[in-house]
Amino acid sequence: MRKILLTGLIAISSMVFSQATTNIATATYTGASFGILYNGAQLSGTLTSATINATLSAQTGTTWANDLTIMVLPTSAITGTPLLQVGGDSNFGATETGAWPNGGASTAGTVVNGSYSLTTPINFTANPAYTVRIGNGYANANPPTNSGTWTNITVTLTGVTASVLGTTEITAKSGVNVSVYPNPVVDVLNVMTKDSRINLVSITDISGKAIKTVLSSDKKNEISIDVTELTAGNYLLIIDSEKGKFSKKFIKK
């Protein structure tokens, strides 16, 4: 039994149906530590289910694969009662809690995947301050000493759509030190910034609907995005960096 009550102990360390999907190559979270997936006003619609797919590649302190946790909070500040906690063996006092259907082992290579359907759907349109976070929902002590590293993480939130926040367009005369290449692109699109680290990159269609989000867990100044699944056409790339948000049009061949 690993249950530990940690209400309030949360540390900050991105279609047939409306969906918001985020991909993370690798991420390490200490116990009760969460990174942001979607900030306030980035999601619209009503969240009805969450789906996860990830592999636990390393851990300390008996962190399990299914301790990878999705959390919905009422504001960007770490205060108040969480609205939703899916995953994790510690209780953060959320109004609704759920578990992933598998992944209950700490062995490297253990996969956690599956979906959780909300008993009470969450309306992001009516509550634009709500935020979504991902992290390690197990703490072996207070303060925690455990950690987990997950790879090939995909999180899909059904019933909501990710919107594009205000950006500065990258043009030849913009003076923005961001390179996007090759353009047109066939399979892999590369993004590089000269003087700021990248938080995440999103791809939208021309109407502005988010199609894919890639989170940079190590926040380097470059990131590569696999776009092979995109159909040929025109798209918009949104780069969220430490010095602002920028947009660049690109063509998928």
**Do 41 and 52 form a contact (C-beta atoms < 8 A)?**
no
Four-residue CA torsion sign, 58, 65, 134, 79? negative
Segment holding 78, helix H or strand E:
none
**pTM recorded for the entire structure:** 0.73
Sole residue written with tokens 């690993």: 2
If you write DSSP's letter for every residue of 17-37 in order, what string do you get? Answer: S-EEEEEEEEEEEETTEEEEE
Distances in whole angstroms, Cα of residue 140 to Cα of each of 70, 91, 151, 157: 18, 12, 22, 28
- The one-digit pLDDT tens for each residue of the chain (253 residues) are 454 444 444 443 433 458 888 888 788 899 999 888 887 888 999 999 999 999 999 999 999 999 999 999 998 766 789 999 999 999 999 999 999 999 999 999 999 999 999 999 999 999 999 999 999 999 999 999 999 999 999 999 999 988 765 566 665 555 668 889 999 999 999 999 887 888 888 888 876 666 777 877 666 889 899 899 899 999 989 888 877 788 889 999 9
